[in-house]
Structure 1
Amino acid sequence: MKRILVPTDFSEEAHHAYEVAVSIARKAGAGIKLLHVVEGVTSYSPSFSATGDVITPNNMQHVYVLQLMEAMKAQMNQFIESVDHEGVGIVQEVDADRPISKIRRTIKEDDVDLVVMGSKGSSGFEEFLIGSNTEKVVRTADCPVLTVKHRHPNFDVQEIVLASDFKREVRHAMERFKDFQALFGARLHLVYINTPGAFESSGNLYTKLDDTAKKYGLQNYSVNVYNDVIEEDGILHFATDIRADLIMMATHGRTGLAHLLSGSIAEDLVNHTTIPVLTFPLK
């Protein structure tokens, strides 16, 4: 892990994410990029007419945009210094764009290994209508995304829940999950949530989990079958029972109608749990 991206809106939750990112960067020897995206304004860039004359936008709008960007850069400088980041390289960027589009481009262009984001969470009608920017990043990012809600000044992960159906596609995420476990020297708890709608015998499930652990050469782990009504509740209850520091999940990253119809357990967890969640896209 070399590059960590921390999108920030300067909120309390974003500050929590920045603290966690610094802790991870110190352990991994990684650098951090802090990104603030100003939405709803257009960056000033002069164009030229066919005769070579400079065409500028409205002067007042130009002045407003420049002043706004300078104010955001000053706020970014204060934000950087709000966390002790000694020994961690920090770069910053302030841009005017659509936040999700800018974050996705930055992930690709900067070859980002991990995104760390704060999340307020959402529920009810608000969640149905818009969700959150963090949820959208979880759904569409091409790299792992760690979501944080509360303050963790010394982010120390000892107990990790890895929740999955442990089908073949999980192999795409397993090496990343192992790397994160190794980074902290944590214990990994594989868990399958057995629900009434998709019930399997415990014996078969334990065999599947044992086979998965052996196949991927897992170390320092436990295998668990947990019964609950729905998967999301089962994951949350199991994580609470073992006092987990982190939940890890793979997500299919569905968008549009497929997402509306099927939803996403990973995105629901990001919205509803207070435990940090690391998601990895299966694409």
Structure 2
Amino acid sequence: MQNILVPTDFSPEAHNAFEVALQVAHRTGGHITLLHVVSVPGSSGVVSTGSGTAGGGGLADVFMLKLLQVTKQRMLEWMVEAYRDMPDVPVEDLVQTGPVDEAILEVIRSRHIDLLVVGSHEQTPGTHFFADSGAERLVRLSPCPVLTVKHPAHDFEVRHLVFASDFTAEADRAVPSLQRLRAAFPDALLHLLDVEPSVDRHQAALDRIHDFARRHQLGPYEPDVFDAPKVSAGIPRFAEQAHADLVVMLTHGRTGLRHFLQGSIAENVAVHAAAPVLTLHPQDY
């Protein structure tokens, strides 16, 4: 979690993400790329606000140059704020044109980003059907871990870290990331959470949790089995009751049956839980 990308549209939600990213980078010795994407039909790539031209001339180019100059000024304001608050964290600004999701994914690939931090509204069941969540799409499509942030966090201190899983063999792939998080937040209490629809499954769930913890020598942890008819609803409810500062989940992303079974749960939790949610792809982590 040292090469961090923060896309911004200069909204309060994006600023929340930037604020958290700065604190994560401070703890991990990382650096940040602050990205703004200007959506221009038929155009993509890195742009400049220098003395060069943006295209073939005319009013459209004049408008584009003015837009880019305003954009760079707003980026500069955020970078000045970052230097004031976290002077040890290097921040580089980057402006690109093109479809937003495509531009973000291209930067992740080309710059070998290992953490994407995005801002999002906390969605309710009534609004989610109608809302087109960019954060949810990025959770599904990003090849690197995605940290979704929905609220301001002036002091991002992780005291309660929740890893939500069914603790089958695939959960083992999250262990390196959990170990890195515990190194970054050594005082955090690790909650190992399984959500089950009925009480008669509790003992089997607890057995899986304890076996997982012993197998990986996780040290102090709190085993938690939570009753809920749906996993996607149970995780946010538990996180709220446990005062979770960070929720960690595996997601399959991409498409196919595995995505519908597990990835859709992680995407749903990422935009509905009040706490920040870190989603990991098991094939990479």
Task: Name the SS of the counterpart of 2:249 in structure 1.
Answer: strand
2:72 is matched with 73
Structure 1 position 167, deviation (Å): 1.7
- CA separation in 1, counterparts of 2:135 and 2:259? 15
Residue 91 (1) aligns with residue 96 (2): no
> Is the contact between residue 10 and residue 79 of structure 1 (CA under 8 Å) also seen in structure 2?
no
- 1:160-175 correspondence to structure 2 within 5 Å: 160-175=161-176
> Is the contact between residue 121 and residue 132 of structure 1 (CA under 8 Å) also seen in structure 2?
no
> Is the contact between residue 161 and residue 246 of structure 1 (CA under 8 Å) also seen in structure 2?
yes
- CA separation in 2, counterparts of 1:238 and 1:262? 18
In structure 2, the CA distance between the partners of 1:24 and 1:35, relative to structure 1 (3 Å rule), is same
- CA separation in 1, counterparts of 2:261 and 2:237? 25
1:214 is matched with 214
Task: Name the SS of the counterpart of 2:59 in structure 1.
Answer: helix
> Is the contact between residue 14 and residue 119 of structure 2 (CA under 8 Å) also seen in structure 1?
yes
Structure 1 position 81, deviation (Å): 2.1
In structure 2, the CA distance between the partners of 1:218 and 1:273, relative to structure 1 (3 Å rule), is same
In structure 2, the CA distance between the partners of 1:276 and 1:44, relative to structure 1 (3 Å rule), is closer
Residue 223 (1) aligns with residue 223 (2): yes
Relative to the length of structure 2, the TM-score reads 0.87
Structure 1 position 12, deviation (Å): 0.5
2:181 is matched with 180
Which of these two proteins has the greater Rg computed from alpha carbons? Answer: 1
1:264 is matched with 264
- CA separation in 2, counterparts of 1:259 and 1:201? 24
Equivalenced residues, count: 271
Task: Name the SS of the counterpart of 2:112 in structure 1.
Answer: coil
2:14 is matched with 14
Task: Name the SS of the counterpart of 1:57 in structure 2.
Answer: coil
2:48 is matched with none
Moved more, 68-77 or 34-43: 34-43
- 1:72-221 correspondence to structure 2 within 5 Å: 72-83=71-82, 84-123=85-124, 127-128=128-129, 131-185=132-186, 186-196=188-198, 201-221=201-221
In structure 2, the CA distance between the partners of 1:257 and 1:76, relative to structure 1 (3 Å rule), is farther
- CA separation in 2, counterparts of 1:72 and 1:106? 18
1:275 is matched with 275
Deviations 1:197-248 (A, max 9, x none): xx75322221111111111221221112111121122212221222111111
Moved more, 256-265 or 10-19: 256-265
- CA separation in 2, counterparts of 1:258 and 1:213? 25
- CA separation in 2, counterparts of 1:222 and 1:145? 24
Q: Which amino acid is 2:38 matched to?
A: V
Task: Name the SS of the counterpart of 2:129 in structure 1.
Answer: helix
Identify unmatched segments of 5+ residues in structure 1.
46-55
Q: What RMSD, in angstroms, separates the aligned Cα atoms of the two structures?
A: 2.4
> Is the contact between residue 161 and residue 248 of structure 1 (CA under 8 Å) also seen in structure 2?
yes
Deviations 1:151-178 (A, max 9, x none): 1111100111111111222222221122
- CA separation in 2, counterparts of 1:105 and 1:273? 28
Identify unmatched segments of 5+ residues in structure 2.
46-54
- CA separation in 1, counterparts of 2:128 and 2:258? 17
Structure 1 position 128, deviation (Å): 3.4
Structure 1 position 43, deviation (Å): 4.7
In structure 2, the CA distance between the partners of 1:44 and 1:129, relative to structure 1 (3 Å rule), is closer
Relative to the length of structure 1, the TM-score reads 0.87
Task: Name the SS of the counterpart of 1:143 in structure 2.
Answer: coil
User: Sequence identity of aligned pairs in percent?
Assistant: 37
